[in-house]
């Protein structure tokens, strides 16, 4: 297993349409971008009126989600665009629960949970409505 010391949260910037857009992202990353697999390790998406955690690239493999910070991190992606409105409570709660589980499994402290924009000031990812400081307080 590679060394994993950070969790980085993203949003997909797509509308969560209740169909599986996770697979559309996978197709974009593999067919259009030419990567071996989807860039994220997991996604949180509404599937048939229920939020589910969908697995992406294996945790053992280096992801493709945060330029310069992929080697030691896990990238997870909430499906939706959270620049203008925040994630629905159920999606946010599941995301927090999932991050807590990952923190336990990989022994990662909440100081090492980040939003993508903290590594790229030109991006708002995982969305302007999300405070990573407030997220860390809940972890
Ligand atoms: Zn991002």
pLDDT tens string 27-57? 999 999 999 889 999 999 998 899 999 999 9
| 22 vs 61, more confident | 61
Cα-to-centroid distance, 1 and ligand 1 (Å): 24
Please check the confidence at residue 125 and state whether its pLDDT lies above 70: yes
Please check the confidence at residue 15 and state whether its pLDDT lies above 80: no
Cα-to-centroid distance, 127 and ligand 1 (Å): 9
Q: pTM of the predicted model, to two decimals?
A: 0.94
Cα-to-centroid distance, 65 and ligand 1 (Å): 6
Q: What is the mean pLDDT of the chain?
A: 94
Rounded to 5 degrees, what are φ and ψ at 102? Answer: -65, -40
pLDDT of amino acid 11: 96
Q: If phi over 0 gives left and psi between -120 and 50 gives alpha, with beta otherwise, what is residue 127?
A: left
Structure tokens at 51: 């939020």
Residue range 104-132: mean pLDDT, rounded: 97
Burial 84-111 (b: 16+ CB within 10 A, else e): eeebeeebbebbeebbeebbeebebeee
Q: Is 137 helix (H, G, I), strand (E, B) or coil?
A: helix
In this structure, are residues 88 and 132 in contact, taking their beta carbons and an 8 Å threshold?
A: no
Strands of the 50-55 sheet, one edge to the other: 50-55, 42-47, 73-78, 6-11, 113-115
Cα-to-centroid distance, 132 and ligand 1 (Å): 13
């Amino acid at each position: 297993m590679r060394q994993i010391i950070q969790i980085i949260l993203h949003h997909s910037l797509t509308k969560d349409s209740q169909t599986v857009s996770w697979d559309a992202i996978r197709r974009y990353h593999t067919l259009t971008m030419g990567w071996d697999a989807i860039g994220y390790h997991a996604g949180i998406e509404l599937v048939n009126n229920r939020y589910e955690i969908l697995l992406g690239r294996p945790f053992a493999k280096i992801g493709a989600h945060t330029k310069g910070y992929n080697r030691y991190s896990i990238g997870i992606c909430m499906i939706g665009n959270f620049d203008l409105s925040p994630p629905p409570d159920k999606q946010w709660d599941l995301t927090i629960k999932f991050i807590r589980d990952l923190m336990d499994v990989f022994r990662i402290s909440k100081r090492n949970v980040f939003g993508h924009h903290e590594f790229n000031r030109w991006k708002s990812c995982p969305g302007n409505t999300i405070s990573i400081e407030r997220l860390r307080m809940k972890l």
